[in-house]
Chains A and B, each alone.
Chain A
Amino acid sequence: GAVVSQHPSWVICKSGTSVKIECRSLDFQATTMFWYRQFPKQSLMLMATSNEGSKATYEQGVEKDKFLINHASLTLSTLTVTSAHPEDSSFYICSADPGRVGNQPQHFGDGTRLSIL
């Protein structure tokens, strides 16, 4: 089945550091990828839609200068949390959409747990 790889799976860093998270679709091309954030005991919250070759679309209330998204190829999107602070600590999850080909559903990565000290 379709596989989405997310890296790293866990990161701990000091306040003020910028952290980059990668999301790769391993066996299909994805013109669109999505980034979610999940706090403990809560549901997934969509942060932004990542479009290959164009600017990301951010959901209301998500700071685009804080969460930089780059979708440079059909198999890779990156999320950079700039100048991270403890309140940015969360579980970040990406998904990739195969689009119209074969009526395939979106598939998710296994998430990145970010802890800011």
Chain B
Amino acid sequence: DAKTTQPTSMDCAEGRAANLPCNHSTISGNEYVYWYRQIHSQGPQYIIHGLKNNETNEMASLIITEDRKSSTLILPHATLRDTAVYYCIVRVAPSNTGKLIFGQGTTLQVKP
């Protein structure tokens, strides 16, 4: 699975959009981009995933560049409860043998 690179930390004002970048320059054609987040002392929570088209759900939007070498997770109106570590992971899917390998992620601090 391709490796990802994320900034260590980011701040965002409450109510504003939070844009979290992720680089995955070695991504293969059959690898998806997954985003999870982990709020302190809880298990990771699935947010969104995509292959090459932009995706949107009730939690967030995922923008994937045309060359698929990077992506951005967008939380449109960040709240204090969105403060968490956000992980961008690349893996082959769907698969029942695909491991999720977690990097260090981005710690997002939403401030009042």
A residues with CB within 8 A of B: 4, 6, 30-32, 34, 36, 43-46, 49, 91, 93, 95, 97-101, 103-111, 113
Contacts and interface: CB of A to CB of B under 8 A. Distances in A.
Interface of B: 34, 36, 38, 41-46, 49, 87, 93-105
Given A93-B44, A111-B41, A111-B42, A103 B100 contact: no
A54 to B, nearest CB: 12
Contacts of B97: 32, 49
B43 A105 contact: no
Given A91-B41, A99-B95, A100-B94, 16 more contacts: A4-B43, A30-B96, A31-B96, A32-B96, A43-B87, A46-B102, A49-B97, A95-B44, A98-B96, A100-B95, A105-B34, A105-B46, A108-B46, A109-B43, A110-B43, A111-B43
A43 B105 CA distance: 8
A95 B95 CA distance: 14
A45 B87 CA distance: 13
Identify the interface centre among B41, B100, B105: most chain A CB within 10 Å of its CB: B100
A20 to B, nearest CB: 18
Contacts, number: 63
Contacts of B102: 36, 43-46
Contact of A108 (B44, B103, B104): B44
Contacts of B103: 43
* 10 closest residue pairs by CB, A with B: A99-B96, A108-B43, A44-B102, A32-B96, A100-B94, A43-B102, A108-B44, A110-B43, A103-B94, A105-B46
